[in-house]
């Protein structure tokens, strides 16, 4: 659904003292809890995000503001009040979402370099979310599957979880800064094949293979129903080639795949909304894909 006050917001911008001549303005998409707009002025092109001005969003807003100031350092972020929203203004990048067809070795190399520049940023501590507690996630899965009232729990536990957890390795606490939402939605590629990373509110401590595993599995279709092992194999091989040997990508591949499906299982089982047969069946299909994929990658899963 569209923002109900777009025209009123445009009139507000026309009167704003720190907004120069407006050449173009339009709503481009709705992302999460924010409304996104394209703005072109005589100073350049910008992406505007309207965020709800609520107490629980204040910390998120400040984190976004500080993070973007640290990462872009191109245009000073301006904050204005508009009814019950706050405004963030950042440079706009022309391009499209990264797709599998874009993933040549050249583009993957640029993506790897952009990612390394991003995670090497020095950010204020309050811009970085805490790491995921994998031990607690593991325990929560165990508790949920111990609920004997749901027959689906028996199937997931007996035929999938008991086998999955035998080879599951809880990561050590050797954390680094990661994007936290490293998906095609947050990676833009322009006409010159340059990479632009956006949306850093998920910045947290973690492991780079969490980001890369999520992205490469998404690009090869494993986040849907039609995962292509041929595509994934190509992406994994390219990922290895464009990173320095000390990155030890070869060792990270099994961890990346395992963590992706562990996270999928956890999210589905811990969803506070009422579980549905359709969603549980989708989870079973995802777990089937994991075991098939693990065998294809020659991972130890039994």
Q: How far apart are CA 212 and CA 179, in angstroms?
A: 10
pLDDT on residue 301: 44
pLDDT on residue 95: 86
| DSSP class per residue in 23-76 | EEEEEEEEETTEEEEEEEETTEEEEEEEEE--HHHHHHHHHHHHHHHHHT-SS-
pLDDT on residue 78: 55
pLDDT on residue 73: 40
pLDDT in tens, the chain (302 residues): 577 788 888 888 888 776 778 999 999 875 566 788 899 988 888 888 887 777 766 776 777 667 666 554 444 445 555 667 777 777 888 889 999 999 999 999 999 999 998 888 877 777 788 999 999 999 999 999 998 888 899 999 999 999 999 888 888 878 999 999 999 988 999 999 999 988 777 889 999 999 999 999 999 999 887 899 999 999 999 999 999 888 889 989 999 999 999 999 999 998 877 778 888 888 999 999 999 999 999 875 43
Domains defined for the chain, CATH in brackets: 6-92 (3.30.200.20), 97-296 (3.90.1200.10)
Extended beta strands in the chain, E state: 22-31, 34-41, 44-52, 81-82, 85-91, 96-97, 176-178, 187-189, 195-197, 204-206
Q: How far apart are CA 14 and CA 127, in angstroms?
A: 32
pLDDT on residue 33: 67
Q: pTM for this structure? A: 0.83
pLDDT on residue 208: 94
């Amino acid at each position: 659904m569209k923002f109900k006050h777009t025209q009123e917001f445009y009139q507000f911008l026309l009167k704003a003292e720190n907004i120069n001549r407006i050449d173009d303005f339009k709503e481009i998409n709705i992302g999460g809890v924010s409304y996104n707009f394209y703005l072109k002025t005589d100073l350049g092109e910008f992406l505007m995000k309207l965020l709800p001005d609520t107490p629980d969003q204040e910390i998120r807003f400040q984190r976004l503001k500080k993070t973007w100031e640290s990462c872009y350092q191109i245009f000073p972020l301006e904050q204005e009040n508009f009814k019950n929203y706050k405004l963030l203004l950042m440079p706009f990048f022309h391009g499209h979402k990264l797709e599998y067809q874009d993933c040549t070795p050249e583009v993957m190399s640029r993506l790897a370099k952009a990612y390394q520049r991003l995670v090497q940023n020095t950010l204020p501590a309050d811009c970085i979310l805490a790491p995921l507690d994998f031990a607690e996630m593991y325990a929560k899965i165990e508790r949920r599957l111990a609920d004997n009232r749901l027959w689906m729990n028996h199937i997931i536990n007996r035929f999938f979880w008991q086998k999955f957890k035998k080879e599951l390795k809880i990561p050590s606490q050797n954390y680094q800064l990661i994007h936290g939402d490293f998906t095609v939605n947050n990676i833009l590629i322009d006409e010159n094949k340059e990479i632009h990373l956006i949306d850093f509110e998920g910045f947290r401590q973690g492991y780079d293979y969490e980001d890369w595993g999520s992205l490469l599995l998404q690009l090869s279709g494993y986040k849907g129903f039609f995962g292509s092992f041929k595509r994934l194999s190509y992406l994994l091989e390219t990922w290895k080639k464009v990173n320095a040997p000390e990155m030890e990508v070869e060792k990270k591949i099994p961890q990346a795949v395992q963590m992706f499906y562990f996270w999928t299982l956890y999210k589905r089982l811990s969803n506070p909304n009422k579980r549905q047969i359709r969603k549980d069946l989708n989870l079973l299909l995802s777990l089937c894909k994991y075991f098939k994929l693990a065998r294809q990658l020659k991972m130890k899963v039994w």
